[in-house]
Chain A
Amino acid sequence: MCLAIPGRIVELLDADLQLAKAEVGGVRRNINIGLVGDEANPIAVGDWVLIHVGFALSKIDEVEADLTLRALGQIGKAYEDEIADLRQSQIT
């Protein structure tokens, strides 16, 4: 379904390629953070972002992340499928 799911930044990997490692639904995967943050407010470890097809689309706060995760948990298969697809991702 190409959902947008909350993930927490756990490591900044490559500033040039704009890659970071995020923890999403219990899985750690590389994502692109080129669409979020800027020089004044760069993305940092611990930040929560909304992730869509391997790209962070928006920075969100932890409360919003929690609410969204709860809502996603209720939608069942579509969310499970999204996490299953994400597990196969290997962004470099």
Chain B
Amino acid sequence: MKFVTEFRDADLARAVAANIAEIAAPGRHYKIMEVCGGHTHTIYRHGIKDLLPENVELVHGPGCPVCVLPMGRVDDGIAIAQRSDVIFTCFGDMLRVPGSKGTLLEIKALGADVRMVYSPLDALRLARENPDRDVVFYAIGFETTAPSTALTLQRAKREGLHNFYVFCNHVTIVPPVRALLDSPDLRLDAFIGPGHVSTVIGCRPYEFMSADYGKPVVVAGFEPLDLMQAILMLMRQLAEGRCTVECQYNRVVPWEGNQAALRSISEVFELRPYFEWRGLGFIAQSALRLSHAYADFDAEIRFDVEGVRVADPKACQCGEVLKGVLKPWECKVFGTTCTPEHPLGALMVSSEGACAAYHNFGRKTFAVTGAMR
């Protein structure tokens, strides 16, 4: 049964690929950006690139919340983690992201109490169980993850905890996309909208991309067939001169988003006036911090975080890959000085990073998809 459905999916994918090839106007080069790191992963894992005609190019966007944090924010986290009174908690991905002098995993080996948690609620439990220590949660992620941090903080407040803090590095998806649309470096034709961010914010926030910039957007699911269908929907819009936001992932994504999640974000967080993004520089109102009502839980206030600005190492071209100006393999140090075992930048560490995805899957799947044809 499993074999049959997989085979049918491959057939369907080929059928969709044929439709895309048919619609693509010869002599025109299409550039479609997928914003979401999860989509980048799927694209490489399944060799989607090879199912598309030569003149339809996929460009990777900055949708990896680990990758877009500048090194200074990693250093700030490490500085907090090195305090003897702190239990520092974070998601697994953050442990190996390079700061300027090392990673959280390395300082853990040197004796810092750094613990991986699956959920911010696990960090909250640690705070309850260790009343004599300060427990800090390194919050990262786009709007997909912010509601989880928000609900955790609401509960911390309800319980009157005095030893739980959040080091907030949540970022929002619309401002960097707008920055890319404004950028002279890129000339994109259309966008594949993020899947899980959209379950929270819905599809409305992308309307400015069609209305103001004339770019079609299709929000897509994570299966290879979902992405192929989304690309076909975009190509049809471009061929028919339509320009609007559509949702391919409507089995999961509500058009208006998740109201409970959005309410929690607006209660607990506020927008920072600006925030620095790796590769994109400072962007206004693009990141969250704890609102005044939650100041008691703000690690940046409690620990007087220095806020160091650290430039990427000279060899690093993370910024250009994040903006879609360079492909991972075009980076000078890709696969040589920078590998998953010895990463120079976050894009090689995080499983949503374009470089890690390509390194792990990209080069092998060319052979596989060649056999499929």
Please give the distance in Å from A29's CB to the nearest CB on chain B: 8
Q: Report whether A53 and B252 are in contact in the complex, using a CB–CB cutoff of 8 Å.
A: no
Q: Is A75 an interface residue (CB 8 A)?
A: yes
Contact of B17 with A by CB under 8 A: no
Q: Are A89 and B92 in contact (CB under 8 A)?
A: no
Whether A53 lies near B222 (C-beta < 8 A) is no
Provide the bound-state CA to CA distance between A84 and B252, in Å: 25
B5 near A71 with CB under 8 A, answer no
Q: Is B210 an interface residue (CB 8 A)?
A: no
Map CB proximity to A onto B217-259 as digits: 1 under 8 Å, 0 otherwise.
0000011100000000000000000000000000111100010
Question: A85 and B118: CB pair below 8 A?
Answer: yes
- Are A54 and B350 touching (Cβ within 8 A)? no
Q: How many residue pairs at the A-B interface have CB separations less than 8 Å?
A: 113
Task: Let me know if A35 and B251 touch, CB within 8 A.
Answer: no
B interface residues, tally (CB under 8 Å): 43
Which B residues from 2 to 52 make CB contacts under 8 A with A? 2, 5, 38, 41-42, 45-46
Whether B264 pairs with A35 at a CB distance below 8 angstroms is yes
Partner of B148, one of A38, A55, A67, A81: A55
A44 at the interface (CB under 8 A from B): no
Contact between chains at A52 and B45 (CB < 8 Å)? no
Bound state CA distance, A91 and B264, in angstroms? 19
Residues on A with beta carbons closer than 8 Å to the beta carbon of B204: none
Contact call B151/A32, Cβ cutoff below 8 A: yes
User: How many chain-A residues does the 8 Å CB contact rule pick out?
Assistant: 36
**A86-B151 in contact (CB<8A):** no
Indicate the member of A17, A32, A53 with the most B CB atoms within 10 Å. Answer: A53
State the Cβ distance, A53 to closest chain B Cβ, in Å.
Answer: 5
Q: Is there a chain B Cβ closer than 8 Å to A13's Cβ?
A: no
Nearest first, the 10 A-B pairs at minimum CB distance are A54-B119, A89-B118, A1-B351, A71-B223, A55-B148, A85-B118, A91-B121, A78-B351, A58-B199, A53-B119
Interfacial residues, chain B to chain A (CB-CB below 8 A):
2, 5, 38, 41-42, 45-46, 91-93, 116-122, 125, 141, 144-145, 147-148, 151, 155, 196, 199-200, 222-224, 251-254, 258, 260-261, 264, 350-352, 360
A selection of 15 A-B contacts at a CB cut-off of 8 Å is A17-B155, A32-B148, A35-B260, A35-B261, A53-B119, A53-B148, A64-B252, A68-B222, A70-B5, A77-B360, A78-B41, A85-B118, A88-B116, A88-B117, A89-B117
